[in-house]
Amino acid sequence: MYPRPIPETAIWQRRLYVLAVVIVLLLWLCPLFAIVLTSFRSTADVMGGNLWGWPTEIGVIDNYRAVFTDTPMARYFLNSLTITIPSVIGVLVMSTLAGFVLSRYRFRGNMLIFALFVGGNFLPHQIMMIPVRDLMVRLDLIDTTAALIIFHVAFQTGFATLFMRNFIAALPDELFQAARAEGASPFQTLIHVVIPLVRPALAALAILIFTFVWNDYFWAVVLTVSDSVKPVTAGLANLRGEWVSAWNLISAGTIVVAVPPVVMFFLMQRHFIAGLTMGAVKG
């Protein structure tokens, strides 16, 4: 038998779909392409107003070197790592403990506590700016990395607990019954049964939380003042001068800031995809 010919209408529909995808992709990549091009420009190009044309002189090495030698970006970068890594670890620990208890133990107030975790995700963080800042001032933590770590752990744990609770609740009950029959304590069950099974979920959550905390700008501005504490997002804003802005250095700094989340995603891509699809299909 000969294959049935594809109708002309279906061919044109496919072509339109492909064209639409290409247009959306180009629109999405245009700002990134412009930033990359600007990071290659020399200072003479920027001062001469060549912000959109092809660079007349490639200064990529000088620009990226100057980001770390002529600006405080190295300090900002270290501050972001100091804030982000403890925040991710704290969120993973807190959400795993809370998700395990809320999914596997029935007690009075269980659903109320879970509702509080879920409800916190619907509150705009901006409306809590003044109370949070006042709290940090009273605790003498304003303008410290500890203030940002405490804030991110507190506010990201709600979403992470919802995430982990659903994953742990999907695990087979027989595993927990077998662990109890062997005399395992709740903590031993968590360490030896739950955590090995939810590693993909932990990896996916780690990437999401890392990206959220690393890219945070609003709270970095609210809770920090001095350059010795600011993370990279607030630090990038400082690179803009009052009268003249070195857009080539700002663009190079933007590319440098975007690298860690991208690298982390590609290193953990397999675990990230497995974590997001884990439990989506049940036998």
pLDDT tens across 207-248, in order? Answer: 889 999 999 999 998 998 888 899 998 888 877 764 456 788
Give me the phi and psi of 41, to 5 degrees please: -75, 150
Cα–Cα distance measured from residue 151 to residue 157, given in angstroms and rounded to the nearest whole number: 10
**Given a cut of 90, is residue 83 above it in pLDDT?**
yes
pLDDT tens readout for residues 34-67: 788 888 877 777 777 666 667 776 656 778 888 8
Exposure of 262 by Cβ count < 10 A (0-12 exposed, 13-18 middle, 19+ buried)?
exposed
Q: What is the pLDDT of residue 235?
A: 86
Residue 90's pLDDT band (cuts 50, 70, 90): very high
Cα–Cα distance measured from residue 24 to residue 27, given in angstroms and rounded to the nearest whole number: 5
Cα–Cα distance measured from residue 123 to residue 50, given in angstroms and rounded to the nearest whole number: 44
All structural domains of the chain, each given as residue ranges with its CATH number in brackets, are: 11-63 (no CATH), 71-280 (1.10.3720.10)
Q: Which residue has the higher pLDDT, 213 or 17?
A: 213
- Which of 57-71, 85-99, 262-276 has maximum average pLDDT? 85-99
pLDDT tens readout for residues 92-110: 999 999 999 888 888 888 8
Helices (H), 2-72: 8-40, 43-47, 60-69
Cα–Cα distance measured from residue 282 to residue 43, given in angstroms and rounded to the nearest whole number: 58
Q: Is 41 helix (H, G, I), strand (E, B) or coil?
A: strand
Q: At 80, which amino acid appears? A: S
Among candidates 254, 261, 271, 130, which has minimal Cα distance to 200?
271
Q: Are 100 and 198 in contact (CB under 8 A)?
A: no
**Given a cut of 90, is residue 114 above it in pLDDT?**
no
**Sequence-separated contacts (24+) of 7-13 with Cβ below 8 Å:** none
Q: Are 198 and 189 in contact (CB under 8 A)?
A: no
Cα–Cα distance measured from residue 251 to residue 255, given in angstroms and rounded to the nearest whole number: 6
Q: At 137, which amino acid appears? A: V
Residue 166's pLDDT band (cuts 50, 70, 90): confident
Among candidates 131, 196, 121, which has minimal Cα distance to 157?
121
